[in-house]
Structure 1
Amino acid sequence: MELSIFIPILILYLVIMSCLAYYGYHKTVTEADYLIAGGNINPVVMALSYGATFISTSSLIGFGGTSATFGFGLLWLSALNIIFGVFAAFAIYGTRIRSRAKQLNVFTFPSLLGGMYKSRFVTIFAGTMIFIFMPAYTSIVLIGGGRFIQETMGINYNLGLLLIAAIVTVYVLSGGLRAVMYTDAFAAVIMVVMASVLLFVTYQQAGGVIDGHRALSSMENLVPSALVEQGHQGWTSMPAIGSPQWWTLVSTLIMGVGIGVLAQPQLAMRSMTVSSDRSLYRSIAVGGVVIFFLAGGAYMVGPLSNIIFQDIEGVLAMEAAGGNTDLVIPILINEIMPDWFIYLFTLTAISAALSTVSSLIHVQAASLSEDILKKLNITAVFNGKISMSRLGVLIGMTAAISLAYVLPGGVIAQATAFWFGICAAVFLPALTGGLFWKKASKAGAEASIVVGFLASTSGFLFFHAKEASAIGLSEAVFGKTTLLPFPMTHIDPLFYAFPLSALTFIVVSLITSEKKAGKVDMEGKVEQVEANQ
């Protein structure tokens, strides 16, 4: 890449982003402005911001590269992204979240959960979990952006990562969620256009839709023997049912992210930013288009890259990327796309990283100020709630940068699934019950989030091989990598943590709501007797 050409383009991009951030800053006056963009954002802006936040470099770079190994089976995740991540998130959950948040006068996801149950514990627990665990997800988004800049611009990875972090820190500190959403919307437009062009050119290079799929199917005999032993049956087929690859694809990548999207704090907050249910309904079409091109496009480009690398270099995508799935898409773009596209797609990768990281950092900061410090009655270091939030921005970004230097390569897709899955197990039963079930109780919600958290973390520490082997606690304590044999080593903890959490919520809620009903009924009878006397 010629930096003399790219740098002016980057400067123009940053000027536009800065103007949007300044506009958000100028409009940020109240606490509601900083935390939920005043609750009156245009539905198109909301949908674009939602899509840009949802589909980050973890999808474009991480999941796109991962699909080069797993094949078109990952398109099931794209379907769930649209069904659950857009339609259900807006039309079913979003409308209830918006009305309940307004009714309770809350501006954060943990405060919404705690407010529905009148539980200080739920608010603090959820806020603490977000503030402690979300930096891990934030860090892998930073990694995706840094890796792309490294591959396309030839710039040192550390410098690319710090550049993205510095830009995000500046405009989240200044403009809050208004600045985040305006810049996200602009980023989403760039992302959709460039992802569409990449998808079109990739199919063109692969021989077209029909011939490209036929060619990919004929490459089944080229699947490495190690993947065949794991259940791989070709890039146009699902892995063998019950095989290690099938369990990883279905339980971790598809179900973990596909269901977990409903309980993502940074996405649920978007429902609080519009003024009416009608606005949410109007957002569905735009959100669906954004998700289709950004997620679905990446999951199609990945498998097709095997054809292109085979034709150009005589190797499969993973071999061309040196075994690091995070480098497949950047290398593919450098191989097949014209120079002008590389410049603009670099902005796409930067946009994807900026949009998601800004939203994640904003949520972490709000959790620190609103859900932890405020609930614990801890005096802020600075005066005012917005200052506490800004302190959270600095802490959250520092933690994310630190983790980005520690996490290994090829971790983006797996770490994304980890965060989405743990959110589903911990938050989704209590959120669903609070929005839709009259018998949902405070005790049920508190028990559910604790069980969901313990079951998820235990699964990752002692049963799921990828995380358990990397963390090493099971090996240190029990002398073996995992406590149970296959298939538990490849079944994502979501598959048992979420049912346990949901069952706990239902049982405890039924028991406690019946006791409460009995108590109310008894008090009523006593009052009636006293009245008769």
Structure 2
Amino acid sequence: MAVDVLTLSIVVAIYLLLIVGIGYYGYKKTKVAEDYMVAGRNTHPVVIALSYGATFISTSAIVGFGGVAANLGMGLIWLTVLNIGVGIFIAFVFFGKKIRETGKRLSAYTFPDLMGKCYNSPFLQYISGIIIILSMPIYTAAILIGGARFIEVTLSIPYETALLGFALIVGAYVVFGGLIAVMHTDALQGAIMLIGMTALLLLTYIHLGGVVAANTALTNMAHLVPEGLAAAGHTGWTSMPTFGSPIWMTLITTMVLGVGIGVLAQPQLIVRFMTAKDDKSLHRATLIGGPFILMMTGVAFTVGALTNVYFYQQSGQIAVTAAGGNIDSIIPLFITQSMPDVFVIIFMLTLLCAAMSTLSSLYHTMGTALACDVWGRGRECALSLTANKRGIMIMMVISILVAFLLPGSIIARATVIFMGLCASAFLPAFVNGITSKSPCVIGAKASLLAGAFVWFIWTVFVHAAESSVLGLSQFIFGVPSILSQPWSACNPLVIALPVSLIVMVLFQIRHNRRMA
């Protein structure tokens, strides 16, 4: 579908002017390191909520996980339940206040800095920073790919041009405006995302004849599930896969648990709590964050599954077949083929907002981890505005290079990989650090290293989705995975996080007995 170039140009120009204006506002408000790195610790609750939600919900949720829902079905909506229950309620109500208070008391500026100061351990700060700068570029690259793919399809411009332009525009306001610019642009982008996703849900059901007709049609398509997916446990797009089957393991352990739990240990989200003025701000933000996440993820997963109805009615093909086997292309293709021109423009902005809001936060987190926690750790340059700007630019370039190297259908997979690693390595030690009166530093080190190590081993040698691609298991043992189904479909998080937790608890119990 052709898009009115003049209308699109005007809308994009207005949007970019607003982004530039907010970026300039952030630049003028940024005077010291506290402004650049934690937004002056005085952010409005609405800005916190929308920034948190917009950072959390990216092209990964809309394009990547929407494509997964088109392939595996509406069972993915259980992730929405966990996103709200864990990512909003537990994160804000139980963890947010502790993070805000501890961060302010210890004058922490980044997530690794908070980890290090909770345990008075430079090692924990350093290793946390290392994990971020080594793993976050993969997630960042996936966000870049999601945004660039939609720009490519919508504007019919080369993918490489779309990716580079997208990356550089976001990088500009992050470098100059710091976290103040990032969070306030996030808030604007979050509001646009809410409008776009609401319209997407309504237009999709209208186009497919209403809620009952669309859902019934999707249910009646169960016999069209490809033989390979059916053999792996797929029972239809409106029902859960067979319990314990490979697809059930993928859906529950990788998608639902991997992201639903992994969100608690996301460095770029944890910093949002450190920007709040007081606990009251976090309480107010919770009331906004819950409905926002519901609309973002719930709509993406519902519409993703329903694209099967549309493509079958139009071409007699299910969604993944119509998209040429690339699940990352399903949502962009559905939008451009089925929606009115004006909505294509609105949704392009929605997707750009989703990608830019997450991308800007990842740039900021990676860059400050490099400059403050790794390169500048223990030195005066750690809090230098110039050093942190350079760190952001370096990590931006690395992420662009990674984006060009990653294969197709990678958006959701890269998200799960990053969130699973963060939860496995950071979560037990981090929670213990902000809640314990006398946290055990040896236990934190052991927990972090054990979680990361087990996650790595399971990823490389067992979890077939990654081990078969990496090829190390095949090279050493002659098989793509050293364990058979269902274990080869079990996400590394499900194994590594309990190991990390047990290690932390055992060391902390021993530490408490010694201190008694």
Q: Could you tell me the TM-score, scaled by structure 1's length?
A: 0.95
Pairwise CA distance, 1:15: 0.5
Q: Encode CA deviations 1:63-98: one digit per residue, 9 max, x unaligned.
A: 011100111100000111111111111111001000
Kindly indicate whether the alpha-carbon contact (under 8 Å) linking 1:85 and 1:261 is maintained by their aligned counterparts in 2: yes
The 3-state SS of whatever aligns with 1:204 is helix
Kindly indicate whether the alpha-carbon contact (under 8 Å) linking 1:66 and 1:413 is maintained by their aligned counterparts in 2: yes
CA distance in 2, matches of 1:144, 1:456: 26
The 3-state SS of whatever aligns with 2:213 is helix
Q: Does 1:166 align with 2:165?
A: no
CA distance in 1, matches of 2:281, 2:127: 31
CA distance in 1, matches of 2:484, 2:361: 39
Superposition map of 1:181-220 within 5 A: 181-220=183-222
Give percent identity, aligned residues only: 43
Cross-structure match for 1:156:
158
Cross-structure match for 2:326:
324
In the alignment, residue 409 of structure 1 is paired with which amino acid? G
Pairwise CA distance, 1:193: 0.3
Kindly indicate whether the alpha-carbon contact (under 8 Å) linking 1:305 and 1:317 is maintained by their aligned counterparts in 2: yes
Cross-structure match for 1:526:
none
Q: Which has the larger radius of gyration?
A: 1
CA distance in 1, matches of 2:413, 2:367: 25
Cross-structure match for 2:497:
498
Cross-structure match for 1:524:
none
Give the 3 Å change call, closer, same or farther, for CA 262–168 of structure 1 in structure 2.
same
CA distance in 2, matches of 1:214, 1:4: 40
Kindly indicate whether the alpha-carbon contact (under 8 Å) linking 1:439 and 1:510 is maintained by their aligned counterparts in 2: no
Q: Does 1:81 align with 2:80?
A: no
Cross-structure match for 1:314:
316
CA distance in 1, matches of 2:515, 2:50: 44
In the alignment, residue 446 of structure 2 is paired with which amino acid? A
CA distance in 1, matches of 2:471, 2:401: 20
The 3-state SS of whatever aligns with 1:489 is helix
Q: Encode CA deviations 1:147-179: one digit per residue, 9 max, x unaligned.
A: 111111111111111111111111011010000
In the alignment, residue 74 of structure 2 is paired with which amino acid? F
CA distance in 2, matches of 1:446, 1:110: 13
**Alpha carbon RMSD of aligned pairs, Å?**
1.3
Cross-structure match for 1:510:
509
Q: Encode CA deviations 1:302-357: one digit per residue, 9 max, x unaligned.
A: 11111111111111110111111111111111122110111121111111111101
Q: Encode CA deviations 1:104-137: one digit per residue, 9 max, x unaligned.
A: 1111111111111111111100011101110110
In the alignment, residue 447 of structure 1 is paired with which amino acid? A
Q: Does 1:475 align with 2:477?
A: no
CA distance in 1, matches of 2:493, 2:33: 35
Which stretch shifts more, 264-273 or 343-352?
343-352
In the alignment, residue 432 of structure 1 is paired with which amino acid? V
CA distance in 2, matches of 1:33, 1:457: 36
Runs of 4+ in structure 1 off by over 3 angstroms are: 437-440
CA distance in 2, matches of 1:307, 1:119: 55
CA distance in 1, matches of 2:370, 2:405: 24
Cross-structure match for 1:19:
21
Q: Does 1:434 align with 2:433?
A: yes
CA distance in 2, matches of 1:206, 1:186: 31
Kindly indicate whether the alpha-carbon contact (under 8 Å) linking 1:440 and 1:506 is maintained by their aligned counterparts in 2: no
Cross-structure match for 2:413:
414
CA distance in 2, matches of 1:17, 1:388: 24
In the alignment, residue 450 of structure 1 is paired with which amino acid? L
Pairwise CA distance, 1:439: 5.5
Superposition map of 1:347-358 within 5 A: 347-358=349-360
Residue correspondences, number: 514
Q: Encode CA deviations 1:182-216: one digit per residue, 9 max, x unaligned.
A: 11111111111011100111112222122221211
Q: Could you tell me the TM-score, scaled by structure 2's length?
A: 0.98
Structure 1 alignment gaps of length 5 or more: 518-533
The 3-state SS of whatever aligns with 1:259 is helix
Superposition map of 1:279-318 within 5 A: 279-318=281-320
